[in-house]
Structure 1
Amino acid sequence: MIDFTTVDVQELLPHRRPMVLIDEIISYDQDHLISQIHVTENSPYFDESIMGVPNYVGIEYMAQTIAAFGGVEAKKQHCPIQIGFLLGTRKLTFAIPHFLLAKSYQTKVKRLYQEDSGLAVFDCKIFYQDQVVASANVNVFQPSDAETYLKTSIAGE
């Protein structure tokens, strides 16, 4: 069994640097994954005027943590990493205006629902220490064949 907490997170995502926003996987089980980010001056979207990353980037922290969850599931089945789509959010709340420089945050995702079609809903929370600083229910879609899905969607089929 692979210890996913020791795997480079980029191996679990369809993203490539510099667009990989999460830094590491803390834990994983059948319906949960926890990632961690460390805000530095080199973090994507770092804004010197606020000495941090704007809170709205939190939705991408959630989405990439969900993508890492999918990546872990793909790796366990010896399948390639697939792209997915963030369809929308419900109950999105932020308790902070930005993610502060030199602080670490954990994003916890819990799969609430998943269909065979690839539609899924995740409960997502971002924590600073034990305090929830952002939360949302995130709706995602991962088609079984993303390339064909994109081609037929663009063609209007």
Structure 2
Amino acid sequence: MTDRFPPITELVPHAGPMCLLDRVITAEGERLSAEVVVPADGMFSQDGGVGAWVGIEYMAQAVAAWAGWQGRQAGEAPRIGLLLGTRRYRCSVPRFGVGQRLQVDIARAYQADNGLGQFECRIHADGMELASATLTVFGPEDPSAFLNGEEA
């Protein structure tokens, strides 16, 4: 069976070892679910897993995948975005174990015309919620100009 979603590397601006997600599972409207199997040899892997703090990056990359999927619908390439903040990150485990299959669910809660957005995020494994947070992100219209200080 062919996935209905392109490879994750075509949806996020992350490359090589910085692309932490494995694939998009579902995406519809304001929501996206992605999957990651915690690698034994990943950038953040040590002592049999990755620290729970990496969950914030899993969530942020799922938001990037959602934005890339939205852009793809309009014929646009993935653009960089900025994680501005995380509120109420809660995680019930100290680490995600090697080989553990995580589902990262995000839902857009708010989007301003200037590119500022807020997403409710959750990480599940084996039917249990392991982590949750609210992420605030910013997606400038022209990321290159913004990073060069040319956009107000």
> Structures share a fold, TM > 0.5?
yes
**Structure 1 residue runs of 4+, over 6 Å off?**
none
Fraction of identical pairs, as percent: 35
- 1:129 aligned residue (81, 103, 126): 126
One-letter identity of the residue aligned with 1:15: H
- Within 5 Å, which residues of 2 pair with 1:34-73? 34-47=33-46, 49=47, 51-73=48-70
Q: Name the aligned partner's letter for residue 83 of structure 1.
A: I
Larger helix proportion of the pair: 1
SS of equivalent residue, structure 2 residue 41: coil
User: Which whole-Å deviations, capped at 9, do the CAs of 1:112-135 have from their partners, x for residues lacking one?
Assistant: 000111000000000012111111
Distance 1:100 1:45 in 2: 12
Can you give the 5+ residue segments of structure 1 that lack an aligned partner in the other structure? none
> Does 1:10 pair with 2:9?
yes
Amino acid at match of 1:3: R
CA distance in 2, matches of 1:84, 1:18: 18
- The TM-score with structure 1 as length reference comes to 0.91
* Root-mean-square deviation over aligned CA pairs: 1.5
Matched, 1:90 2:91: no
Aligned counterparts of 2:132 and 2:25: Cα–Cα separation in 1:
18
TM-score norm. by structure 2 comes to 0.94
The match for 1:81 is: 78
Alignment of 1:78-157 (within 5 A): 78-152=75-149
**Number of residue pairs matched?**
150
Query: In structure 2, how many angstroms separate the alpha carbons of the residues matched to 1:110 and 1:129?
Result: 20
